[in-house]
Structure 1
Amino acid sequence: LPRWLRDGDSHTRDLILVQLDAMRRIEGFQAVMVMDAAGVVALGVGGHHQAAGPLLDTAARALASGRVEFTDLYHDQVDGEEHIHLDFVAPLGPEAPTGFVVVLRLDRDAFLFPFLQDWPLPSASAETLLVRRDGDAVLFLNALRDRTDTAMRLRLPLGAGSLLAGQVVSGQVLPGEPVRALDYRGVPVLGLALPVAGTAWYLIAKIDLAELTAAERRDLLWLGSALGLALVLMLVSALLLYQRHSLRLARVHQQEQAARLHDLQLRDAVVDASSDAIYAKDLAGTYLLFNRAAADFCATTPEAALGRDDQAIFPPEQAALLMAHDRQVMAEDRTITFQEELTTAQGSITFLATKGPLYDAAGRVVGLFGIARDITERARAEEENRTQLDELRRWQRLVLGREARILELKQEVNTLLARTGQGPRYPSATGSVDSG
């Protein structure tokens, strides 16, 4: 994410989107997005990516606490259509830019509401409700069995003391205690409730008293137990669903680990098969990678070289030169090619070494890599060519000097002949002739 925000690299952006979409599909979320504290969505997959007030408040809480936070169920308008959201917000780790969070948006129609409406036993009136207090009223959060379009819309006053949901949210009913009251239809029911940890919600399981009294009294205790069992089954179902999601996520992680292992094995095979010396060092100059060709040059093994530096492998003067080159690469933060003369187990060898910086996930320089090729024969041939060229230049200077001296002698002869009244013997000689 820091690399994409800095460079706008499309390949990096695609990698992030693939990971976000895998999380969305495996965990069953409607949408997953990366957002900053101001509500600007940097990247997102699935659904729409609008950030409303409740999401912004929850993102601020998550960034302040450093923990995963989640919104209450809330309304949102998108393209003229009303949606109900439940968002989980996780602050990114310390390597990420400050103020960014990942938002996991739950599809209430695909998971939450069907989960609540799935009653575990045959019943003509039994129902599960999700409610919370909203000022002086009780707000019904999920779709109801006998009414349509009620989710996050139906509010009933707390003043109606016989209302089951009102007694629950006002604290008049102990958790798990069966109570007789009226439901939202005004129908007598038997119900019990449990608070949803970490929220202001209450989960209520209820059944019409008429359905209970139609059976024998001896069945009343069993049906009351069934209500409690329904809550237990729902909690167990939620736990099993969480475990299934965790197992899927673990499988994806295992697949990613296997892919990384394959990449590492492929990299090691390529590195070890190379005839060039390939290595990597940390900031202190300690070898982190030392391939087989490098080990052969130094009469050691790759394993023995790891954890050591140049001073433990090369003579002091050569080690100092190598470390100076390393410092230059990391200080200038660029790839540089050097010609290095080193004493190895195979004698004195001339290497053409290309060195470049290594970065961590945040873009900081954490070391360097190097690829060194044996160019001894090429360097020897270049030295011979330079020697021959110098010899040719020396002979050229001698020949040109001799011709210049011959020309001077001819001019002197012509001058002497002129003084005796004779014509020049060497007409082709250049230069002035003294006629005196």
Structure 2
Amino acid sequence: MTRNVRVLGGFQTDFSKNWAREEKDLTALFTETLQGGFEAAHVLPGEVESAHVGNFTAELFCDQGHLGGFFTAAAPEMAGTPAMRHEAACASGSMAMLSAMAEIEAGRYDLVAVLGIEMMRNVPGTQAAAYIGPPAMWAGRECVGVKYPWPHMFGKLGEEYERRYGLKREHLSAISKINFENAKRNPNSQTRKWGFEDASFTADDDVNPVIDGMIRKHDCSQMTDGGAVVFLASDEKAAEIVARAGRTLDDAPRISGWGHKTAHIGLNEKLAESHDAEYVFPHVRSAILDMYKRAGITTTDDYDGVEVHDCFTPTEYMAIDHLGLTAPGEGWKAIERGDIALGGKLPINPSGGLIGCGHPVGATGVRMMLDCWKQVTERAGDYQVTNAKRFGMLNLGGSATTAAAFMLDRD
């Protein structure tokens, strides 16, 4: 029988920090993340049996690969612990989690660390855009000569929604505004101290300029330095650790469902394949339905909130209907009803998401899981969803090439 996988909690760095400006490197970021996780989760370094790291482009930003060896560098007690790195663009952290889950389910190990990390603010913005552009898309075939590749690509997703169903600027702006407002409640968010005015969420070219196509400044996620770690455990090990901390298994919710799909790397190819389909990204919908089935749920009424991949506002707009909160192409109805706001029917990104909280690429999937854990254990502070017992997440890599969905469930 497959064993349960429980989440013991973990740690997230302050996503507003610029580590290079503080003359700190990737090793320092990794160490703070891991050591903060040990303290927060009441885990002893020597009892971790396996470790996984999610990272996208440390070779380009930091001239550093082979990140599995950083666990021992950050915690000498972990010497000899098997470790490996995972890459799937913005879904790198989720791939690390899936592998860690499989090890526990198979009975190989009882306690596994999953850490996501990215350092991205140590180079100029145009250089950073080049580092995260071609490597995650079809290099040499997409966005050749485009200054900001990802705004261009997800602008095309918005254009596809506009073509199929119609799409209004006001609905994309509402997504942005909600995420920035939520981020102000999050003490670790990158934008919590940013100031906005009413025009910031309009088509005002001065305060919200066009980046590419329909994508404006405040439609975009952030370039972020950051790390996040969670610890996954079997029932037996989880019971031992929470007892040590004077807690109960309510503080170690289980991953009740997951889904994982991979599509063609090219965006145009994905859109062509779905031309006559009900959903713009059928594989994303399929990953979500797999997660629902494994979790034993059928609709968005069966859980309390969700962290989704809002690398740009059209991506979150896509997630709304793919989750089933509305019919395809009708995400605007959920926005106008207030369903996605904190306190709504299905709060989306109470943390602030990638737009408000920040997007250190390899860390994002792990950060999402940590926020799900905070919600179902009532540790989310000012952005807590009332009485949350089940929380979902949807993490995407590339132009939604990789899709990973998870459900965290307090028994």
What is the TM-score with the length of structure 1 in the denominator?
Answer: 0.19
Q: Which of the two has greater strand per residue?
A: 1
What is the TM-score with the length of structure 2 in the denominator?
Answer: 0.20
Q: Between Structure 1 and Structure 2, whose CA radius of gyration is higher? A: 1
